[in-house]
Amino acid sequence: MDTLPLGFRLKDKPCLLVGGGEIAQRKASLLLRAGARIHLVALEVIPALREAVEAHGGRVSLRGYDSGDIESNILVVAATDKLDLNAQVSADAQSRGIPVNVVDAPALCTVIFPAIVDRSPLLIGISSNGVSPVLARILRGKIESMIPAAYGRLAELLGEFRNKAKVRFPDVSARRLFWETQLDGSMPELVFSGRVDEARTVIEQAIANPDQRGAGEVYLVGAGPGDPDLLTFKALRLMQQADVVVYDRLVSAPILDLCRRDAERIYVGKARADHALPQEGINALLVRLAQEGKRVCRLKGGDPFIFGRGGEEIEELSEAGVSFQVVPGITAASGCSAYAGIPLTHRDYAQSVRFVTGHLKNGTPDLPWAELVHPNQTLVLYMGLTSLGPIREQLLAHGLAATTPVAMISKGTTPDQRVVIGTLKTIEDKLANEPLPAPTLIIVGEVVKLRSRLNWFVPLS
């Protein structure tokens, strides 16, 4: 380890910044965010930099650098494009024992500015010791995507109880175990979802009764149409902290592999006339698991509120007084159409789109057909593969032209994606020659014509 990462308190402390260009402006931004009082020295200063320094109580000297400028500062930054000047600033600072940073010159630095993930009061610094700042910034971007902004609120909340926890658990090991238990429970997720007061109550109760089991919660998570890269950050976070994962048939294996490794997994998939567990049983299962104090990820293909029965499940959770969250997912219509190169709307072809299910509760495609047969509209049918014949007959009977393009997309967004294109007149014959497995999405409308030009996704052959 070539350098030791340290937190540097700069609030209301004097810092010298030599340089007046864009590079100096970037350094000034960091110093000002930390509350430093900057003395800026440069022959020329860009207006935005000058305004920022003076707005935060600093001062600007429009002149050349003098060695005496170093005095009385606790940090010095050289950010000019003159190598000899930067070297002089570094030498002057080091001779006085003052920490110094020189932009893009690690050998002249006694301190290195890391790439920073700011979730104040929580800060994460990533440093390459000046070897590859670009790599550090790339890693910062990856970490930024994994850590919600609400981690700052979580850190502040924990700070509120720091002294109380010390009194309640004077032993360091016991106190560490207490905080680990809290951070591994449902409390952080209350903060992330904006329920800070509830999280505060959970901590207060845990300090008063540390052996009491906390309440469980259900996360209703949309897993999208199959490609794990389409998961939201929040979906992935909840999947990786759940104690139990209750999942559907439409959840792909690569997505399931992203769940917490030691989580209990319960399959409740439903195929046509073959339900691993009836819907009422799934509802009761979610309630029971949560009441046992477990964090339950109810993982559903697509979006849980679009033909996913998510509303039915959280109705029962609500009636039972179980806390829950809903995480939207990319619904099959959006994901599969995009990966098939078929835009659902287009100014020249379709100004509206309708999502309907081809398999209703009573087992028949009993739909408002007259409303669905409309010019300049795209029709998307979920779960319609086995009902394609009756669907086709109804659309034709209600006036849709036999030449209307139709796309059948099987296992969309996955390496096994297959697409069959036809018209209302030909699609059944096409499927007879090229059968498709479920799940299959049906898209009806003129936008299907665009696939020949816009198809971009190449699945495995």
The residues assigned a catalytic role are 248, 270
Phi-psi region of 376 (alpha: psi -120 to 50; beta: other; left: phi over 0): left
Q: Does the annotation flag 98 for ligand binding?
A: no
Q: What are phi and psi of 337, to 5 degrees?
A: -65, -40
Q: Does the annotation flag 306 for ligand binding?
A: yes
Q: Does the annotation flag 99 for ligand binding?
A: no
Q: Are 85 and 20 in contact (CB under 8 A)?
A: no
Order across the sheet with 75-78: list the strands: 59-62, 37-42, 14-18, 75-78, 100-102
Please choose, from the candidates 328, 116, 148, 124, the residue with its C-alpha nearest in 3D space to the C-alpha of residue 237. 148
- Residue 347, judged by CB atoms within 10 A of its CB (0-12, 13-18, 19+), counts as exposed
Give the bridge partners for 105, in sequence order: none
DSSP class per residue in 298-367: EEESB-TTSSS-HHHHHHHHHHTT-EEEEE----HHHHHHHHTT--S-BTTTBSEEEEEESS-TTSS---
Q: Does the annotation flag 332 for ligand binding?
A: yes
Give the pairing of strands 122-126 and 115-119: antiparallel
Q: Does the annotation flag 254 for ligand binding?
A: no
Give the pairing of strands 100-102 and 323-327: unpaired
DSSP 113: P
Q: What are phi and psi of 304, to 5 degrees?
A: -65, -20
Q: Does the annotation flag 22 for ligand binding?
A: yes
- Please name the residue that has the structure tokens 């849709």: 400
Q: Does the annotation flag 412 for ligand binding?
A: yes
Q: Are 7 and 123 in contact (CB under 8 A)?
A: yes
- Please name the residue that has the structure tokens 């739909």: 367
Q: Does the annotation flag 44 for ligand binding?
A: yes
Helix (H, G, I), strand (E, B), or coil: what is residue 182? Answer: helix
Give the pairing of strands 274-275 and 122-126: unpaired
- Longest CA–CA span in the chain (Å) reads 91
- Residue 42, judged by CB atoms within 10 A of its CB (0-12, 13-18, 19+), counts as buried
Indicate the helix (H) or strand (E) that contains 181. helix 172-183
Q: Does the annotation flag 7 for ligand binding?
A: no
| Binding site listing for NAD(+) | 22-23, 43-44
Binding residues, as ranges, are 22-23, 43-44, 225, 301-303, 306, 331-332, 383, 412
User: Which residue positions form the known binding site for S-adenosyl-L-methionine?
Assistant: 225, 301-303, 306, 331-332, 383, 412
